[in-house]
Amino acid sequence: MNHTHLRQLVLTVLFSLVAKVSMAQQTPSYIPTEENLKARQEFADSKLGIFIHWGIYSMFAQGEWYMTNANIDNKEYAKAASAFYPVNFDAKAWVSAIKAAGAKYICFTSRHHDGFSMWHTAQSDYNIVDATPFGRDVIKELADECHRQGIKLHLYYSHIDWTRDDYPAGRTGRHTGKDMQKADWPSYYGFMNRQITELLTNYGEIGAIWFDGWWDHDQDTVPFDWQLEEQYALIHRLQPACLVGNNHHQTPIEGEDIQIFERDLPGENKAGLSGQDISRLPLETCQTMNGMWGYKIIDQNYKSAETLIRYLVSTSGKGANLLLNVGPQPNGELPAAALERLSAIGEWTSRYGETIYGTTAGDIAAQEWGVTTRKGDRLFVHIFDLDAKELHLPLQGKVKKAFVYDTKQPLKMKRTNEGVTLFFDEVPTGTDYIVELNLRK
Ligand code: GLC
């Protein structure tokens, strides 16, 4: 082999190596399976889920952050477990009320920041079966009931732990009596992964794992490595269709299947946690019914049924799901105020659900008067507040037919260069006055 040939050979080998490396960088390491993609679509179509924040924090009735907000020693706090006896807990009653609201999934707090596990975990005695007189595995009961009634179960899982010494404390839970010297990430990471394995092995199909707490380390000087990709891969190995979401308030990270927004519709940032870009993953906004997630006895400031229904429709108008929270009482009941609202939402979804389920964001972005949702060639115009008997829509050359969704009564329409104007006999009123438009293909 002469010199030129050798050079050529070396160059060829080098070139193919470089190409391989750069391809590896471009190829995403997470490729969702078919069943995962199907689950994403089902999720995106489902529009309404109910969030449940329930744990021993409910007994203090001050919300789920009580332990760290009041700097309570974790050993004192843990004593509440020995009195946790939610006599009226009835998975069937919960799931029935939630299903009747038109929700397609429930997201339940398996373990919140206080570190108490709501299932019979073998990884720690600090759980609902071993540490309470109640002794029942509520996740088992909920999972069985959800499967029976055909509604999906998602599990909230906290990355933070204000009780365990091995969790390296971030900016919260610094005064709950933990021994900071004992922080041991590999030990804690292993603990979490074994717990997640239990949840995805012993309770049948789980629709999603909903992580929370990443932000605990967002002010570290050296970036904290949560080893998320590995943890996400574990989840997808155990249940490929299980959706991974993380309430980190960032744009999604490799391995996530949905994007979560907290207390704001995607693209809005009134609560201050949602400045992140909107990804192409299915979207979900979680929101409280009053002002707290966990049961808070002094917070009776519930949003009205009308406000909640409009919020649900507005979420659909953004192409997202609403995960609406309920904080059950320490006796195991859902608060009456929450039940009333669930039933009002159910009345609405049973009549008008078709205008949100399976839809995407409509052709017209949110307006002062309301929002739009779209399904095939049908565009639903949801009017919340209109002070006039006419409404102009910038849908030039697109509209074939317009009618009132409820009565099917055709609406007078004038086509202009900019779109169409609809004319009503009376100013539209009600929670959501829906007009259906049939569009040209
Ligand atoms: C926040 C809170 C947490 C709650 C969650 C729900 O992250 O810290 O308590 O569970 O929001 O979205």
Output the 3-class SS for 363-380.
Answer: CCCCCCCEEEEEECCEEE
Q: Could you read off the pLDDT of 5-33 as tens digits, one per residue?
A: 666 666 555 555 554 554 445 556 899 99
158: its two tokens: 């906290």
For a mutational test of ligand 1's pocket, the pick from 262, 296, 322, i.e. the residue with the most ligand atoms closer than 8 A to its C-beta, is 262
Distance CA 237, CA 402 (A): 48
Find the 289 Cα to ligand 1 centroid distance in Å.
14
Q: Which residue has the tokens 């999604």?
A: 252
Mean pLDDT of the chain: 95
Q: Would the CA dihedral through 299, 116, 260, 321 be positive or negative?
A: negative
pLDDT bin (cut points 50, 70, 90) of residue 182 is very high
What SS3 state is found at 106? strand
According to DSSP, the residues that pair with 381 across neighbouring strands are 372, 435
| 2-16, 71-85, 299-313, 423-437: the lowest-pLDDT one | 2-16
By C-alpha distance, which of 153, 141, 43 is closest to 99? 153
CB atoms within 10 A of CB 76: 11
Distance CA 139, CA 144 (A): 8
Q: Does residue 355 have a pLDDT over 90?
A: yes
Distance CA 410, CA 401 (A): 8
Residue 295's alpha-carbon distances to 69, 77, 121, 271, 307, in angstroms, are 15, 16, 24, 20, 21
Q: Which CATH architecture has domain 362-439?
A: Sandwich (2.60)
Atom of ligand 1 lying closest to residue 109 CA = 10
Q: Which helix (H) or strand (E) holds 418?
A: none
Q: Would the CA dihedral through 384, 390, 392, 397 be positive or negative?
A: positive
Q: State the pLDDT at residue 247.
A: 98
Does the beta carbon of 286 lie inside 6 Å of ligand 1? yes
CB atoms within 10 A of CB 358: 17
Region 397-410 average pLDDT = 96
pLDDT bin (cut points 50, 70, 90) of residue 224 is very high
Q: Does residue 215 have a pLDDT over 80?
A: yes
According to DSSP, the residues that pair with 50 across neighbouring strands are 106, 324
Does the beta carbon of 293 lie inside 6 Å of ligand 1? yes
Does the beta carbon of 247 lie inside 6 Å of ligand 1? yes
Region 250-279 average pLDDT = 96
Q: Report yes or no: 114 and 64 within 8 Å, Cβ to Cβ.
A: yes
Q: Report yes or no: 119 and 198 within 8 Å, Cβ to Cβ.
A: yes
Region 383-388 average pLDDT = 98
Q: Which residue has the tokens 């080998």?
A: 13
- Residue closest via CA to ligand 1's atom 7 equals 212
Q: Is 0.85 topped by the overall pTM?
A: yes
By C-alpha distance, which of 327, 257, 318 is closest to 292? 327
Q: State the pLDDT at residue 12.
A: 56
Q: Does residue 139 have a pLDDT over 70?
A: yes
Residue 331's alpha-carbon distances to 334, 349, 423, in angstroms, are 9, 29, 52
DSSP for 212-247? E-GGGGTT-SSPP---HHHHHHHHHHH-TT-EEEE-
pLDDT bin (cut points 50, 70, 90) of residue 179 is very high
Region 53-61 average pLDDT = 98
Region 351-371 average pLDDT = 98
Q: Please state which CATH number belongs to domain 32-359.
A: 3.20.20.80
Q: State the pLDDT at residue 9.
A: 60
Q: Could you read off the pLDDT of 269-296 as tens digits, one per residue?
A: 999 999 999 999 999 999 999 999 999 9
DSSP for 6-67? HHHHHHHHHHHHHHHHHHHHHS-S----HHHHHHHHHHHHH-EEEEE--STHHHHTB-TTHH
Q: State the pLDDT at residue 441.
A: 80
Residue 298's alpha-carbon distances to 3, 113, 295, 333, in angstroms, are 85, 21, 9, 17
Angle among Cα 176, 189, 64 to the nearest 5 degrees reads 40
By C-alpha distance, which of 34, 63, 46, 161 is closest to 106? 46
Atom of ligand 1 lying closest to residue 262 CA = 12
Cβ neighbours of residue 155 closer than 8 Å, sequence gap 6 or more: 107, 108, 110, 139, 199, 206, 208, 209, 210
Does the beta carbon of 172 lie inside 6 Å of ligand 1? no
pLDDT greater at residue 349 or residue 441:
349
Domain residue extents for the chain:
1-30, 32-359, 362-439
Percent of the chain with pLDDT over 70: 94
By C-alpha distance, which of 254, 65, 293, 52 is closest to 171? 65
Does the beta carbon of 64 lie inside 6 Å of ligand 1? yes
Distance CA 405, CA 438 (A): 11
